Homo-oligomer: A and B are copies of this chain.
Amino acid sequence: MRRVQVRFLPAELTVEVEPGTPLLEAAYAAGIELHQGCGGQGTCRRCRVAIRSSAPEKAVSGPLWPEGGLTWTLACQARVKKSLTVEVPAAPAPERWEEAVVGEGEQAWILLEAAEEVSTELAPVCFSLSLTLPPPGQEDNADDRRRLLRVLGEQLGGAKIELPLRTMQLLPNLLRENRWQVQGVLCRTPGGYEVAALRPLRNSYHLYGLAVDIGTTTVAAELVNLGSGRVCAARGAYNRQIKYGDDVISRIIYAGEHVEGLEELQGAVIETINRLVAELTAQERIAASDIRAVVYAGNTTMAHLLLGVPPAYLRCEPYTPAFTVPPPVRAGEIGLRVHPRAWVYGIPGVSSYLGGDVVAGVLSTGLDRESPLTLLLDIGTNGEMVLGHQEWLLGCACSAGPAFEGSGVTCGVRAVPGAIEKVEWDPVEREVRVFTIGQQPPVGLCGSGLISALAQLRRAGIVDRTGKFTAGQGGRRLRQREGEWEFVLVEAAQTATGQDVVLTQADIQNLLRAKGAIFAGLRTLLHAVSLDVGQIERFWIAGGFGRYLDLEESIALGLLPPLPGQCFRYVGNTSLKGARRVLLQRHLLEEAVELAERITYLELSLGNTFMEEFISALFIPHTNLELFQRGEGAA
């Protein structure tokens, strides 16, 4: 078949493809990774490129539109018809996203979190034991293996202990060369323990574990010294799956619709973790094979993709996951570059949309073992929450959409340096002041900045209770562009991007849907157990987004309920903390399974009050203002 050439600018890369090839594939073939927010559905429009050929409609089939003097198309929708030149816009080029990783501040935060908690009762999933064996003689001539297992059995309380082949092969010489005193490295296995290594007693050895939080957007990992329980290093990075879609639904679609889609997504998250491992081990100056155990927590889709299990049915009624308790695997089986025989354990989840990350959260906060009625809210791409105490636990997940993570919003950015995290309205000057992460020139609005901006605009009367801009308010900053109203928060001259940072009418509606979904989820949970908002004794907020949240503004907007200030606590990355706890306290491996079974999942799409609650919660703060009247002790 005749092949045609596609030339990509500004990279000056050319590939030959067959006519009919999707432009996105041609770009991949050229080594250019175009950002996709929707998994190739044509909705996120992030893969838009300009056609530089004289007759674009002859060069490609697919959507075409003029903008800024160029003709644009979506690479995921267009197919190549004849040779052409394509210009890839500089921003938001995927390379930029990748490079951004998690900034300096972010690293510091993760490490701070880590330092906070040092486990006192240390019983890690992998540990070393000094072993002194009685030498054999005529009276007691048991074989070496039995002799070893006898001593180990005494120390491990009769658990089933296996001696893998490689250890068995070392055993006879090692025992005799070291006068029957050796050091054993024991690892928790799905069935008991295994003697993962045997070494002379005199040497001291490294034994490390890796705790990983696999978020849809960010992956965070900690390198933990299993001997001391100390977190030596911690790092975060964007999940390299981002290029296949921003949210789990896009990635599930991608995995199902592309021939090797699942393998690509698995490879992307493994690569993300492997790079973190490389950084962490370089920083700590240890070998990757010193990492002998891995515990991860992630939502159910992330767990499926990590293990290469088809996630298709997570999004089909009745939303049945392939597994909730992830099968333990050896690192080598999934290409994780730590010790190839290290066991990789996942924290079990509850259902398709209430995953191991939430169970890890409950585990790390211990709310399941205490009496106060507690709500744990993890706001990420989805909003997940668990309500309850030592007697019962009820959870749900509501699709908040990616607005809080800076996506689906005109000037939305993630919580990177330069992101506006707070907005102040000066009622006298009728002017706006913005505060950015790291005091850098503004690049856009992150989740907390969005909340702050909307709350301030509502307070100033520039938007009404339905979220609509009020004509005549807002002065010169409120303007109409291409038929849509928008409010200019920062003018182009003051930004790092050279473009205005604005909040549009559509942005506000997205934001209200997000906050409305979360509040409606909360109300539905409470309704299911016949409780009121005011009966919540502790309201714990987890996840990266919650860190920058202003309580007053969140309540004013109706995202959070009007509880007394002391009820609220920011509990950090509880998914990562939960993974670390399991790493350091092996009995939690089983307890996590029991805990996940204790959490009753409330499916919000089925026969309950969620939809009515959602409609009511689309107002600021709510249709029912009585709900937002502070009681006694309000801050």
Query: Which residues of A come within 8 Å of B, CB atoms?
Result: 136-138, 141-146, 160, 162-165, 168-169, 171-173, 176, 190-192, 307-310, 312-313, 318-325, 327, 329, 333-334, 351, 603, 606
Contact = CB atoms under 8 A, between A and B. Distances in A.
A144 B352 CA distance: 11
A281 to B, nearest CB: 25
A146 B310 contact: no
Contact of A165 (B162, B313, B333): B333
Contacts of A308: 165, 169
A168 B320 contact: no
Contacts of A325: 145-146
A164 B327 contact: yes
A323 B168 contact: yes
B169 A323 contact: no
Nearest to A138: B318
Contact of A169 (B164, B191, B310, B319): B310
A529 B160 CA distance: 36
29 contacts: A136-B318, A138-B318, A138-B606, A141-B351, A143-B320, A143-B321, A143-B322, A143-B324, A144-B320, A144-B322, A145-B324, A145-B327, A146-B323, A146-B324, A146-B325, A163-B323, A164-B327, A165-B307, A165-B308, A165-B334, A168-B323, A169-B308, A171-B309, A172-B309, A172-B312, A173-B310, A173-B312, A190-B191, A191-B191
A390 B485 CA distance: 94
A313 B320 CA distance: 56
Nearest to A139: B318
A323 B318 CA distance: 52
Looking at A138, A323, A333, the one whose CB has the most chain B CB atoms below 10 A away is A323
Given A136-B320, A144-B323, A190-B191, 16 more contacts: A137-B318, A142-B320, A143-B320, A143-B322, A143-B323, A144-B320, A145-B325, A146-B324, A146-B325, A162-B327, A168-B307, A168-B327, A169-B310, A171-B309, A172-B322, A191-B192
Contacts of A172: 309-310, 312-313, 322
A143 B354 CA distance: 13
Residue of A137, A168, A307 most packed against chain B (CB within 10 A) = A168
Contacts of A333: 165
Given A168-B327, A191-B160, A141 B322 contact: no
Contacts of A351: 141
A525 B1 CA distance: 85
Contacts of A160: 191
A265 B138 CA distance: 29
A329 B329 CA distance: 17
Copies, count? 2
A595 to B, nearest CB: 16
B143 A176 contact: no
User: When A and B form their complex, which 5 residue pairs have the shortest distance between CB atoms, in order from nearest?
Assistant: A191-B191, A145-B323, A172-B322, A136-B320, A143-B321
Contacts of A138: 318, 603, 606
Nearest to A325: B145
Contacts of A144: 313, 320-323
A190 B322 CA distance: 26
Contacts of A603: 138
A582 to B, nearest CB: 19
Nearest to A319: B141
A165 B334 CA distance: 9
A323 to B, nearest CB: 4
A245 to B, nearest CB: 20
A327 B163 contact: yes
A395 B325 CA distance: 48
A603 B168 CA distance: 25
Contacts of A307: 165, 168-169
B192 A145 contact: no
Contacts of A168: 307, 309, 322-323, 327
Given A168-B307, A191-B190, A145 B318 contact: no
Contacts of A145: 322-325, 327
Given A141-B319, A141-B320, A165 B310 contact: no
A169 B306 CA distance: 11
Contacts of A146: 323-325
Contacts of A313: 144, 172, 176
A142 B141 CA distance: 51
A334 B323 CA distance: 32
Contacts of A142: 320
A141 B318 CA distance: 7
Contacts of A606: 138
A136 B351 CA distance: 13
Contacts of A169: 307-310
A322 B145 CA distance: 6
